Amino acid sequence: MSKSYESFNPRTQYCLDHSTPLNKHVDELMEVSLACKSGQMTGAKGVLQTCATLIEIIQAKNILDIGFFTGVSALTWATIIPEDGKVISMDVDDAPYKIVGKPHIDASGVGHKIDIRIQPALKTLQELIDAGQSGKFDFAFLDASKTEYPSYLASCLQLVRTGGIIAVDNALWDDRVLEKEKDTSTAGVDTLNKMALSNSNVQNVLLPIEDGLHLIVKKC
Ligand SMILES: C[S@@+](CC[C@H](N)C(=O)[O-])C[C@H]1O[C@@H](n2cnc3c(N)ncnc32)[C@H](O)[C@@H]1O
């Protein structure tokens, strides 16, 4: 149990309650997402509030959102970026969007800022690189296949501009990164954490927020 919606902790709740609230359409989408099948994949409030603050700090406009699910993270970013900003969101499965996310995203009035690409994220990232989009993104949020985390990081380090931020969700993976024996998902998360640490071109910090939020700033 590592996400704030999975178990009640008054200290965590106090922090969430004293941080800028999420947009009401995000709150509503979170609620219905948590109630649906695989609802525990929904982004957690502490991660969304932290990333929203970082997006404001760096005045991010163009965002990569890897792992759409019902769209809670994508909608959060779309509510805070400017009118001419874009969130490119990636997933292999569009059913959670069609069944759960779409009505809320349509009602939010910011759905036009979200461009959903339904195919493997690595394919979309490579297409963006091939289309000359390297250095064009301000912020990336990694939250799809854990085994592919190292490859997502490598692609995002190309696609994000100098001074841009790559935020990696589930960087503690329910504390399984601490165990000696690691399955392939845990190994993927652990490898990304070590890749960031050993890269002298980034400044990184792994925060114990929710299920672990690894922040990686591209220095050059
Ligand atoms: C944890 S959920 C994303 C949650 C979302 N970011 C949010 O805040 O609610 C992970 C998503 O990644 C998708 N996914 C898994 N493997 C993928 C891949 N190789 N490429 C793209 N998406 C993938 C899954 O279908 C799932 O919807």
Residue 49 CB less than 6 A away from ligand 1? no
**pLDDT one-digit tens code per residue, 29-74:** 999 999 998 999 999 999 999 999 999 999 999 999 999 999 999 9
Q: If you average pLDDT over residues 117-123, what whole number do you get?
A: 98
For 132-161, how does the pLDDT look when each residue is reduced to its tens digit (9 = 90+)? 999 999 999 999 999 999 999 999 999 999
Q: Is residue 4 part of a domain?
A: no
**How far does CA 144 lie from the centroid of its chain?**
8
Alpha carbon nearest to ligand 1 atom 14, residue: 144
**Distance from C-alpha of 100 to C-alpha of 56, rounded to nearest angstrom:** 28
Q: What does each C-alpha distance from 29 to 21, 53, 69 come to in angstroms?
A: 14, 20, 11
Question: Ligand 1 mean position to 176 CA, how many Å?
Answer: 19
Asked whether residue 1 is assigned to any structural domain, the reply reads no
Calculate how far, in angstroms, residue 188's C-alpha sits from the geometric centre of ligand 1.
15
Structural domain contains residue 14 = yes
Spatial contact of 48 and 73, defined as CB atoms under 8 Å apart: yes
Q: Domain holding 25: CATH number?
A: 3.40.50.150
CB-ligand 1 contact for 91 (6 Å cutoff): yes
**Nearest-angstrom CA–CA distance, 147 and 191:** 9
Question: Does the residue 5 lie in any domain?
Answer: no
Report the amino acid identity of residue 93.
D
Residue 11 burial (CB count, 10 A): 6
Helix axes 10-17, 45-57, angle to 10 degrees: 40
Q: What H or E segment, with its residue span, contains residue 165? A: strand 160-169
How many angstroms is it from 89 CA to the middle of ligand 1? 10
**What's the gap in Å between 66 CA and the centre of ligand 1?**
7
Which pLDDT score is estimated for 81?
98
Structural domain total, the chain: 1
Say yes or no to pLDDT of 1 above 70.
no
2 part of a folded domain = no
pLDDT of residue 171: 98
Average pLDDT over residues 3-10: 94
Is residue 210, in this structure, part of any structural domain at all?
Answer: yes
Q: Specify if 214 maps to a domain.
A: yes
In terms of Cα–Cα distance, which of 82, 78, 81, 140 is closest to 114? 78
pLDDT computed for residue 20 by the predictor: 98
Which residue of 28, 69, 93 sits with most ligand 1 atoms within 8 Å of its CB, as the best mutation to test the pocket?
A: 69
64 lines ligand 1 (CB under 6 A): no
* Any domain includes 172: yes
Domain span at residue 90?
10-218
Atom of ligand 1 nearest to the CA of 76: 8
Side chain identity, residue 219: K
Structure confidence at residue 2 (pLDDT): 83
